[in-house]
Structure 1
Amino acid sequence: MNYWLMKSEPDAFSIDDLGSRPQQTERWDGVRNYQARNYLRAMQPGDAAFFYHSRCAKPGIAGIVKIVSAAAPDPSAFDPRSPYYDPRGSPEKPSWFMVEVQLRRRFTRAISLNEIKANPALRKMPLVQRGSRLSVMPVTPQQWNAILKMAQSGSKLDSN
């Protein structure tokens, strides 16, 4: 199993939005960065990811999702009504991909970016590297465990 961090702006799509979807599952689409796309393509069902709220008053990790589908062409790239439309791609030769994620756990409080930056075990995490703005990035098992330890003091398991 591999570990990941996936960013979303909560006013666009939050962990609560994911929790309200049927089976708490939704497509993670709209990624339009080639490196982030490559990470999506590397994801496998069963992998886990932190759900990170970005570009908000208190950015941080809000919970955990499970990857439930392998990467597939992102249909939003082919829809002219979508803000993620890309006229250069086609279903036969897609440029952009998406995965489906399912909510596994919400933290009772977000693990803030400041807390993550202050943890020496997370010093090399791509999230805290200068200039790193990817919306999808890998997380090492050591980083995963360090963040879980930070969340242990206040998290609840969802019903799933």
Structure 2
Amino acid sequence: RYAWKTGHKYFDARSTKDKPVWFMVDIAFVEAFTNTVPLATLKSTPGLEDMMVTKKGSRLSVQPATKAEYDIVLKLGRKL
């Protein structure tokens, strides 16, 4: 929505509502996990085999996750 607002710092003249050049999402902190979830745990957990962050060469940054993957990671992080 900001890409189309003339004068906004994220305005992008190349972007249209029909053919956006980029997407922006708003995120906010919700909770801290009780446990750290190491990459090795993600890689060895059933249901996360296809998660992008577990693939070789993927960077540990913002990655897409399915609802099912998200729920598994939440369980791992909240596990006592």
> TM-score, normalized by length of structure 2?
0.61
C-alpha distance 117-142 of structure 1, shift in aligned 2 (>3 A): same
CA RMSD between the two structures: 1.8
SS of equivalent to 1:143: helix
**If you compute each CA radius of gyration, which structure gives the higher value, 1 or 2?**
2
Q: Give the total of aligned pairs.
A: 59
> Where in structure 1 are there 5+ consecutive unaligned residues?
1-37, 46-66, 68-101, 155-160
Quote how far apart the aligned CAs of 1:122 are.
0.5
Deviations 1:17-38 (A, max 9, x none): xxxxxxxxxxxxxxxxxxxxx5
Q: Quick one: distance in 2 between partners of 1:142 and 1:134?
A: 19
1:144 Cα deviation (Å)?
0.2
- Looking at secondary structure, tell me which structure has more strand per residue: 1
Match of 1:113 in 2: 39
Q: Distance in 2 between matches of 1:111 and 1:117?
A: 10
What percentage of aligned pairs have identical amino acids?
A: 31
3-state SS of 2:53 partner: helix
Q: CA deviation at 1:152?
A: 2.8
